[in-house]
Structure 1
Amino acid sequence: MQISRTHRLGYPFQKLFVPVSLVSFTLALATDVVFWQTADLMWQNFSAWLLFAGLVGGALAVIAAIIDLIRPETRALRASVLEVLGFIVALLLALINSFVHAGDGWIAVVPLGLALSGATFVVILLTLVFAARAARTSNWSAQ
């Protein structure tokens, strides 16, 4: 029986928390679109809470990433520089978006909040592409 590479090395804690942010920010875009179409304030509140949840998850991911830097067994599975930069840009866009969503009514979401949610989503997609390429390259070099 062959032991997988993940079991031989320590699994990075950061990878446990990053999906919370990515999913929350993606759902915030969806709720912004629904608010844009319906003008129901409930959807604006959902967006604000999703942005908050994503920022909290992002803060936990940053703390976990710092812990992973200390752990030498996670060296081979750490995120690439492009992944880290993409995640930081997404967090900064979401933070600005959260401040925009703190406003009242229609102008808190349309057009700037919706544009920031869309930009955050695009950065997330690009970051996932970088992560997939890094994982594919890592798998090729491990074989």
Structure 2
Amino acid sequence: MSDEPRRDASAYPFQSLFVPFPFVCFSLALGTDIAFWQTAEVMWQNFSAWLLFAGLVFGGLAVLAGLIDLLRVRTRPMRPSFFAIILFLVMLVLAFTNSLVHAGDGWTAVVPYGLLLSLVTFVVSLMTVAASTRKYARLAWRV
């Protein structure tokens, strides 16, 4: 038996374990903000706050794992582009700001600024996914 499967497993970037969570959490936070805007039910505001918190925690873990991956030689070809890294950090800063806005009480904690920040964070997350998948697609197809 060759060492090829073990070598391939050692090349798996640690950041790939944590990076998807912020995208999911911030997308769902936009959904719960829209639900709060339409219903004024406080439960949706609480869901948004917890989703933002979870996304920030996993985003921080992704940044730490990405720093570890920088030191690993085997993950060098799978590193995201510099532009994707900057977009990911911008997304986290926007989400942190959004979390501070959501820390307020009542309707004004979400509408209009929290909802707007959730939308902008979602759009930046889509841009981040698009920027990072281009490199992986080129690597997979050797283009």
1:106 aligns with 2:135: no
Q: What is aligned with 2:26?
A: 25
Shift of 1:86: 1.1
* TM-score, normalisation: structure 2: 0.92
Structure 1 runs not aligned, ≥5 long:
none
1:75-99 CA distance string (max 9 Å, x none) = 0111111210111010000000000
Verify: 1:15 aligned to 2:5, yes or no: no
Cα distance between partner residues in 1 of 2:9 and 2:101: 45
Is the counterpart of residue 45 in structure 1 residue 29 in structure 2? Answer: no
Q: Which amino acid aligns with 2:16?
A: K
Between the aligned partners of 2:54 and 2:137, the Cα distance in structure 1 is 30
Map of 2:74 onto structure 1: 73
Question: Using the alignment, how far apart are the partners of 2:11 and 2:141 within structure 1?
Answer: 20
Distance in 1, Cα, partners of 2:64 & 2:111: 33
Partner Cα distance (1:8, 1:25) in 2: 29
- 1:9 shift after superposition: 5.6
Deviation at 1:139, TM superposition (A): 2.5
The residue aligned with 2:126 is 125
Q: Does 1:35 align with 2:36?
A: yes
Q: Write the deviation string for residues 2-51 of structure 1: whole angstroms up to 9, x where unpaired.
A: x68x8266111011101111100110000000000000000000000000
- Unaligned residue ranges in structure 2 (runs of 5+): none
Measured on the aligned residues, the alpha-carbon RMSD in Å equals 1.8
User: Relative to structure 1, is the Cα distance of residues 76 and 9 closer, same or farther in structure 2, using a 3 angstrom cutoff?
Assistant: farther
1:58: which partner in 2? 59
Provide closer, same or farther for how the CA distance between residues 140 and 36 of structure 1 changes in structure 2, counting only shifts above 3 A.
same
- Residue type of the alignment partner of 2:35: V
Aligned residues: 140
